[in-house]
Amino acid sequence: MRVAVIGAGIGGLTAACGLAADGHEVIVYERRDEPGATGAGLTLFGNAFGALDAIGLGDTVREVSSDAISRMRAGQRVPSGDWLVSMPSAMVPTLRSLHRAELHRALTDALPAESLQLGRSAAVASDGQPIVTVDGAEERFDLVVAADGLRSAARARLGVDRGLRYAGYTAWRGVTAAGIDVQDEAGETWGRGRVFGIVPLPDGRVYWFATESTAAGLHAEDEREALRERFGNWHTPIPACIDATPAETVLRHDIYDLARLPAAFAKGRRVLLGDAAHGMTPNLGQGAGQAIEDAATLTLLLRTGDPDTALARYDRLRRTRTTAIWRQSRQIGKIAQASRPVAAGLRDALLRATPPALMGRATQRIQRWTAP
């Protein structure tokens, strides 16, 4: 088949790699000249690697990631550094961390050289045909995969957009310029309306993120200084992570998810993938993982030979799976961002009373992905 992929993010590139390896002619259209591989890290759980292995990309991603985080003490802490709950490392043995730029490079390198077209704006047809309009000219394909992100233009043109929802908090992200001693501890620290997360990267640097419950659209003249004011007296190594990050590289963005998921992920020979289909809050760390699952599921189903049947199954399987995770991620976000003293105190008490093994089993359930 001739396949167009709109968007060169993690999901789009994974789908393109899988489909190209199966012999399909794939063209990836990315509107930016330098596609989004900037300044932050991520973690991938076992479900992501199960999906990557299923389409032959697992080792490619393992080469640019590290499993060191899976052997560290992790869980949730309070700003003093006391642990609320500590996750047994045996519950996340396949957890790996990496820089988004490295993942993007590895996936791009796995594509045929002529497949990726940068600086090309592409739009799906609104009449049900697998046609893409690229810089004003129409191109016909056998399948169009729309992986154009949370604010997907394709989702709107397909008539399934239900809008976005502000989650109630803003987020900062950064990567330290040098290595930081995290003392073999990672995870998140939960304060009142604020969260700080630490993720060691393979080269010793630290990817960190921070959130604060606040109105949307606010910005500081110096975002790193704003972080120091909010988190400077939290436990080590949080202040060191902030200080070791160049001020000009600190990223800030308000957190949005889809207000409701589309009623269909596939319409005719056009399919939504990744955030375009199920943009969710980052609280479960499953945004990239679910996009990778989408890509692997689509690739494997298309091997059955009947594209229309494959897309119908993709729609059914992926809407069921991602709707549950989208809802759970939103709920965890509300709990983590609790800002009132009574609510935050109750949250902390419940976490302290929760057996770590129970938390681990809940994490393992999310990581269960079965190839179709």
Structural tokens at position 314: 């993709």
The predicted pLDDT at position 111 comes to: 96
* Residue 39 domain flag: yes
Rounded CA separation 309/204 (Å): 46
Rounded CA separation 294/321 (Å): 10
* Residue 79 domain flag: no
Host domain of residue 126: 2-73+95-165+257-336
For helices 287-302 and 10-21, angle between their N-to-C axes, nearest 10 degrees: 20
5 neighbors 15 (Cβ within 8 angstroms)? yes
* Residue 16 domain flag: yes
Rounded CA separation 338/27 (Å): 44
What are the φ/ψ torsions at residue 144 (nearest 5 degrees)?
Answer: -120, 125
Could you write out the DSSP letters of every residue in 268-337? TTEEE-THHHH---GGGS-HHHHHHHHHHHHHHHHTTS-HHHHHHHHHHHHHHHHHHHHHHHHHHHHHHT
| CATH value at residue 50 | 3.50.50.60
* Residue 252 domain flag: no
E strand or H helix at 116: strand 116-118
Residues 312/315/318/320 CA torsion (nearest 10 deg): -100
Could you tell me which of 340, 339, 105, 81 has the C-alpha nearest to residue 233?
A: 81
* Residue 238 domain flag: no
Local structure of 90: helix, strand or coil: helix
The predicted pLDDT at position 363 comes to: 78
Rounded CA separation 124/46 (Å): 33
β-pair partners for 173: 209, 251
* Residue 28 domain flag: yes
E strand or H helix at 242: helix 238-243
Q: Output DSSP code: residue 248.
A: G
The CA distances from residue 10 to 54, 136, 367, in Å, are 16, 26, 18
Domain count, the chain: 1
* Residue 202 domain flag: no
Please give the single-letter amino acid code of residue 101: A
Rounded CA separation 265/330 (Å): 20
Stretches where the chain sits below pLDDT 50 are none
* Residue 209 domain flag: no
With a CB cutoff of 8 Å and minimum separation 6, the contacts of 127 are none
